């Protein structure tokens, strides 16, 4: 195996006027930005699709089901290539969109299918009487969702959404395929340039660990903040 | 924009696509069988009651589950040659990586499966004079497998999708086959579209099968 550690490699200039440490930190920033933006897209779309799949309308349910199946059954890497090569060819408008945005959309749409599944399960976990009571009170269907169903359903799905949030950090690594300079891309390039793969990979893996751990803590904090005593989804 | 799929004739499919599909299928199959075997062992370690064995298994599972698969693929591609002292092909490296990596996920499924078997079954086994290995092999594991079969198969579908990530080390899998064909005939858009269609057809039909199986198992119980 390797004779000695050479952590000083991170202080070396990479030939572009910045040290490998600087590059590593900016790569971490890209990873977090991709994951965070994709998370916003996924949460919005996923909630919408999840709600559609629980509505009484057959057509809306079907649309939601198709959405979920399509984005769940094609590998993320293939989806990224579709956004990167096929979408700009079909819609010329997208050819001026930076690749960062395309990756965010790819990862966001991919994750939205998983979130839709969780949101649907959360809504279906509520007693049917809740929906009936809301409608019987004279609330419209959107009002029933807004004031009765969703506030409780979202509290129920916080734990599965947390693991999806940790997955999105991990899945953002696939962005290396279209040369977004995030952590995995950094790992591959820096390993090639320095041949100190073990040190580079350890640092990158450590940063993935820290990111996932931070999300885990943040989610527990949110879960405590929003819990309603005595209601479904509150505490243990 | 006009799409032209005419170049995807039988010989192109045979030369580029099927070669890749064969490797993806092989990788999925070996990693599933190996992963379930190793995963079951890890699950048994975790539930063994011996705190050292349990700690080792927990560390293995939690570490692998918190690292992106692409990084694990890169790690193994880097480390295996350093350890065995000679280079190793991307394909073989991918097979080892996926077996080791998926074992962490399969172990969590098997752990849930073993815990889904009522405690009375184990006690009955011991009361009949079975040893621990006999009890596991004859009573607990068959039921655990059966209860978890749909989940194990769903994980296999995920595994099949994840095999596309061997792209990172340049192994020749299904996606690579499409990509090479697309480059050769200068038709990348068509090939990526077909690739997505093929992956969707395979994964969606498998997931329909799993759903059927789930219904069947539910009726028997």
Q: From residue B84, how far is each of A73, B79, B99, B166, B176 by CA, in Å? A: 37, 9, 18, 21, 27
Selecting from A78, A188, A198 the residue whose C-beta is nearest the C-beta of B196 gives A78
C-alpha pair distances (Å), B25 with each of A120, B11, B22, B160, B173 = 32, 20, 5, 8, 9
pLDDT of A233 strictly over 90: no
Q: Over the range B22-57, which residues count as b (16 or more CB within 10 Å of their CB) and which as e?
A: ebbeebbeebbebbbebbbebbbbbbeeeeeeeeeb
What would the mean pLDDT of B79-104 be, rounded to a whole number?
92
* Residue A154, Cβ density class (10 Å: 0-12 exposed, 13-18 middle, ≥19 buried): middle
ipTM of the complex: 0.90
Mean local confidence (pLDDT), B58-83: 92
CB–CB contact A212 B192 (8 Å): no
B9: pLDDT strictly greater than 90: no
B204 contacts in A (CB within 8 Å)? Answer: 69, 73
- B70 neighbourhood in chain A, CB within 8 Å: 173-174, 176, 184
- The CA distance from B165 to the nearest CA of chain A, in Å, is 7
**Tens digits of residue pLDDT in A133-184:** 999 999 999 999 999 999 999 998 988 899 899 999 999 999 998 888 899 9
Give tens-digit pLDDT for A63-85. 999 999 999 999 999 999 999 99
List chain B residues with CB under 8 Å of A174: 70, 165
- Give contacts of B82 with chain A, Cβ < 8 Å: 1-2, 198
Cβ contact B135:B125 at 8 Å: yes
Phi, psi (5° rounding) for residue B59? -65, -45
Average pLDDT over chain B reads: 91
Residues 20-49 of B with CB under 8 A from A: none
Q: Give per-residue pLDDT as tens, A171-225.
A: 999 999 888 889 999 999 888 888 888 999 999 999 999 998 899 898 888 888 8
Contact call for A73 and B203, based on CB within 8 A? yes
Rounded to whole angstroms, the Cα distance separating A90 from A93 reads 9
Q: Strand, coil or helix: what is B55?
A: helix
Q: Cα separations (Å) of B201 from A72, B16, B34, B195?
A: 12, 19, 25, 10
Q: What pTM was estimated for this model as a whole?
A: 0.90
Q: What local confidence, expressed as pLDDT, does residue A235 receive?
A: 45
Check if B199 contacts A (Cβ < 8 Å): yes
- The whole-number average pLDDT for the span B57-63 is 94
Overall average pLDDT of the B50-69 stretch: 93
**pLDDT the model gives residue A46:** 96
pLDDT for the residue numbered A236 = 41
Q: Give the whole-angstrom CA distance, residue A161 versus residue A183.
A: 23
Mean pLDDT of all residues belonging to chain A: 90
Mean pLDDT of B164-176: 93
Per-residue pLDDT band at A14 (split at 50, 70, 90):
confident
pLDDT at B126: 93
Rg of chain B (C-alpha set): 21
Interface A:B, Cβ pairs < 8 A: 99
Cβ neighbours of B65 in A, within 8 Å: none
Q: Give the closest of A78, A81, A212 to B66, CB-based.
A: A212
When pLDDT is averaged across residues B118-129 and rounded to a whole number, the result is 93
The pLDDT value recorded for residue B18 is 92
Please, which pLDDT band fits residue B28 given cuts at 50, 70 and 90? very high
């Amino acid at each position: 195996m390797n004779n000695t550690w050479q952590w000083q490699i991170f202080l070396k200039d990479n030939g572009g006027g910045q040290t490998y440490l600087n590059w590593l930190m900016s790569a971490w920033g890209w990873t977090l930005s991709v994951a965070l933006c994709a998370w916003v897209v996924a949460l919005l779309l996923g909630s919408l699709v999840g709600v559609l799949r629980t509505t009484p309308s057959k057509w809306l349910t079907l649309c939601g089901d198709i959405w979920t199946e399509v984005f769940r059954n094609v590998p993320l890497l293939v989806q990224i290539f579709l956004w990167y090569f096929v979408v700009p060819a079909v819609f010329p408008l997208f050819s001026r969109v930076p690749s960062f945005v395309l990756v965010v959309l790819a990862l966001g749409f991919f994750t939205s299918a998983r979130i839709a599944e969780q949101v649907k399960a959360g809504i279906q976990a509520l007693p049917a009487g809740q929906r009936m009571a809301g409608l019987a009170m004279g609330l419209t269907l959107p009002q029933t969702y807004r004031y009765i169903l969703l506030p409780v359903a979202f509290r129920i799905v916080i734990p599965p959404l947390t693991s999806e949030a940790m997955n999105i950090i991990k899945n953002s690594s696939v962005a290396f395929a279209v040369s977004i300079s995030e952590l995995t891309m950094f790992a591959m390039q820096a390993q090639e340039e320095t041949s100190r793969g073990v040190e580079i990979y350890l640092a990158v893996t450590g940063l993935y660990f820290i990111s996932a751990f931070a999300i885990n803590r943040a989610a527990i904090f949110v879960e405590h903040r929003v819990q309603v005593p005595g209601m479904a989804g509150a505490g243990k | 924009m006009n799409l032209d799929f005419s170049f995807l004739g039988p010989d192109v499919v045979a030369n580029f696509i099927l070669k890749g599909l064969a490797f993806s299928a092989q990788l999925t199959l070996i990693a599933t069988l190996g992963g379930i075997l190793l995963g079951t062992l890890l699950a048994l370690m975790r539930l063994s009651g011996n705190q050292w064995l349990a700690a080792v298994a927990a560390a293995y599972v939690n570490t692998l589950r918190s690292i992106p698969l692409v990084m694990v693929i890169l790690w193994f591609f880097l480390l295996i040659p350093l350890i065995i002292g000679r280079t190793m092909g991307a394909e073989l490296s991918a097979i080892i990586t996926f077996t080791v990596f998926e074992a962490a996920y399969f172990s969590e499924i098997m752990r849930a499966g073993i815990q889904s078997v009522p405690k009375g079954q184990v006690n009955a086994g011991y009361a009949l004079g079975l040893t621990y290995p006999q009890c596991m092999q004859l009573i607990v594991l068959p039921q655990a497998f059966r209860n978890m079969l749909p989940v194990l198969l769903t994980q296999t579908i995920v595994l099949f999708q994840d095999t596309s990530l061997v792209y990172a080390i340049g192994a020749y899998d299904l996606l690579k086959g499409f990509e090479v064909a697309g480059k050769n005939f200068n038709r990348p858009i068509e090939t990526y579209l077909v690739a997505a269609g093929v992956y969707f057809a395979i994964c969606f039909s498998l997931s329909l099968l799993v759903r059927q199986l789930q219904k069947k198992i539910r009726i028997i119980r």
